[in-house]
Structure 1
Amino acid sequence: MTMLQCISPVDGSVYAEREAMSLSAAIEAVARARKAQKAWARRPLEDRVQLVLKGVARLNEMVDDVVPELAHMMGRPVRYGGEFKGFNERSNYVADIAADALKPLVIEESAAFERRIEREPHGVVFVIAPWNYPYMTAINTIAPALMAGNTVVIKHATQTLLVGERMVRAFVEAGVPDDVFVNLFLDHPTTNALIAAGNFNFINFTGSVEGGRSIERAAASTFAGLGLELGGKDPGYVMEDADLDAAVDTLMDGATFNSGQCCCGIERIYVHESLYDQFVEKSVAWVSNYKLGDPLDPETTLGPMAHRRFAAHVRHQIDDAVSKGAKALVDPKLFPQDDGHAYLMPQILVNVDHSMSFMREETFGPAVGIMKVKTDDEALTLMNDSPYGLTVSLWTKDAERAGRLGREIDTGTVFMNRADYLDPALCWTGCKDTGRGGSLSVLGFQNLTRPKSYHLKKVTQ
Structure 2
Amino acid sequence: MSKLQCISPIDGSLYVERDLASASEIKAALAKAERAQQAWKHTPLAERVAIGRQAIAAFAAREEQLAEELCWMMGRPIRYAAGEIRGFVERASHMADIAESALADIRLPDKPGFTRFIRREPLGVALVIAPWNYPYLTAVNAVMPALLAGNAVLLKHSAQTPLCAERMVAAFAEAGLPDGVFQYLHLSHADTEQLIQAPAIQHVSFTGSVAGGAMVERAAAGRFISVGLELGGKDPAYVRADADLAHAVATTIDGAFFNSGQSCCGIERIYVHESLFEAFVEQAVALVKHYKLGRSDDPETTLGPLVRAEAADFVRRQINEAVAQGAVAHIDPARFALDRPGSAYLAPQVLTGVYHGMRVMTEESFGPVVGIQKVKDDEEALALMNDSPFGLTAAIFSNDEAAALALAERVEAGTVFLNRCDYLDPALAWTGVKNSGRGCSLSSLGYEHLTRAKSFHFKTQL
In the TM superposition, residue 112 of structure 1 has moved relative to its aligned partner by 2.4
In the TM superposition, residue 65 of structure 1 has moved relative to its aligned partner by 1.5
Q: How does 1:265-276 map to 2 (within 5 A)?
A: 265-276=266-277
**Residue type matched to 1:139 in 2?**
V
In the TM superposition, residue 178 of structure 1 has moved relative to its aligned partner by 1.1
1:219-275 per-residue CA deviation (whole Å, 9 max, x = no partner) reads 002111000000200000000000000000000000000000111000000000000
**Residue type matched to 1:265 in 2?**
G
1:294 matched residue in structure 2: 295
1:398 matched residue in structure 2: 400
2:441 matched residue in structure 1: 439
1:360-418 per-residue CA deviation (whole Å, 9 max, x = no partner) reads 01001111000000011111111111100000000111111111111111110010000
**Residue type matched to 1:439 in 2?**
S
1:52 matched residue in structure 2: 52
**Residue type matched to 1:444 in 2?**
G
In the TM superposition, residue 30 of structure 1 has moved relative to its aligned partner by 1.3
Task: Decide whether the 8 Å contact of 2:259 with 2:304 is kept in 1.
Answer: yes
Q: How does 1:35-50 map to 2 (within 5 A)?
A: 35-50=35-50
Partner SS, residue 34 of structure 2: helix
Q: Does 2:96 align with 1:72?
A: no
**Residue type matched to 1:157 in 2?**
S
1:315 matched residue in structure 2: 316
State the distance in 2 between where 1:162 and 1:84 align. Answer: 14
Q: How does 1:289-368 map to 2 (within 5 A)?
A: 289-340=290-341, 341-368=343-370
Deviates more, 1:15-24 or 1:281-290: 15-24
In the TM superposition, residue 199 of structure 1 has moved relative to its aligned partner by 3.0
**Residue type matched to 2:257 in 1?**
T
1:284 matched residue in structure 2: 285
In the TM superposition, residue 332 of structure 1 has moved relative to its aligned partner by 1.7
State the distance in 1 between where 2:81 and 2:319 align. Answer: 30
**Residue type matched to 1:396 in 2?**
S
CA RMSD, 1 decimal = 1.1
1:181 matched residue in structure 2: 182
2:414 matched residue in structure 1: 412
1:17-75 per-residue CA deviation (whole Å, 9 max, x = no partner) reads 11111233212201110111121111111111111111111111112221111111000
Partner SS, residue 178 of structure 2: coil
**Residue type matched to 1:440 in 2?**
L
In the TM superposition, residue 198 of structure 1 has moved relative to its aligned partner by 2.8
**Residue type matched to 2:427 in 1?**
A
1:149 matched residue in structure 2: 150
**Residue type matched to 1:68 in 2?**
E
Q: Number of aligned pairs? A: 460
**Residue type matched to 1:355 in 2?**
G
**Residue type matched to 1:52 in 2?**
G
Partner SS, residue 135 of structure 2: coil
Task: Decide whether the 8 Å contact of 1:129 with 1:137 is kept in 2.
Answer: yes
**Residue type matched to 2:455 in 1?**
S
In the TM superposition, residue 81 of structure 1 has moved relative to its aligned partner by 3.7
Q: Which runs of 5+ in 2 are unaligned?
A: none
In the TM superposition, residue 109 of structure 1 has moved relative to its aligned partner by 5.4
Partner SS, residue 29 of structure 2: helix
Q: Does 2:380 align with 1:378?
A: yes
State the distance in 2 between where 1:24 and 1:453 align. Answer: 38
Deviates more, 1:159-168 or 1:15-24: 15-24
**Residue type matched to 2:450 in 1?**
L
**Residue type matched to 1:429 in 2?**
T
1:90-120 per-residue CA deviation (whole Å, 9 max, x = no partner) reads 1111111111111111115567221000100
In the TM superposition, residue 191 of structure 1 has moved relative to its aligned partner by 0.6
Task: Decide whether the 8 Å contact of 2:70 with 2:81 is kept in 1.
Answer: no
Q: Does 2:433 align with 1:424?
A: no
Partner SS, residue 305 of structure 2: coil
Q: Does 2:206 align with 1:210?
A: no
Q: 1:387 aligns with which of 382, 386, 389?
A: 389
Task: Decide whether the 8 Å contact of 1:126 with 1:204 is kept in 2.
Answer: yes
**Residue type matched to 1:307 in 2?**
R
1:66-90 per-residue CA deviation (whole Å, 9 max, x = no partner) reads 1111111000011114212211111
State the distance in 2 between where 1:269 and 1:181 align. Answer: 41
Q: How does 1:231-246 map to 2 (within 5 A)?
A: 231-246=232-247
**Residue type matched to 1:273 in 2?**
E
Task: Decide whether the 8 Å contact of 1:197 with 1:222 is kept in 2.
Answer: no
Task: Decide whether the 8 Å contact of 1:203 with 1:227 is kept in 2.
Answer: yes
Task: Decide whether the 8 Å contact of 2:232 with 2:265 is kept in 1.
Answer: no
> Structure 1 pair 111/410, CA: closer, same or farther in 2 (3 Å)?
closer
Tell me the TM-score normalised to structure 2 length: 0.98
2:130 matched residue in structure 1: 129
Tell me the TM-score normalised to structure 1 length: 0.98
Q: Which runs of 5+ in 1 are unaligned?
A: none
State the distance in 2 between where 1:105 and 1:253 align. Answer: 43
Deviates more, 1:304-313 or 1:125-134: 304-313
The alignment-based identity, stated in percent, is 55
Task: Decide whether the 8 Å contact of 2:67 with 2:85 is kept in 1.
Answer: no
**Residue type matched to 1:161 in 2?**
P
Partner SS, residue 347 of structure 2: coil
Task: Decide whether the 8 Å contact of 2:60 with 2:86 is kept in 1.
Answer: no
Q: Which runs of 4+ in 1 moved over 4 A?
A: 108-111
**Residue type matched to 1:124 in 2?**
V
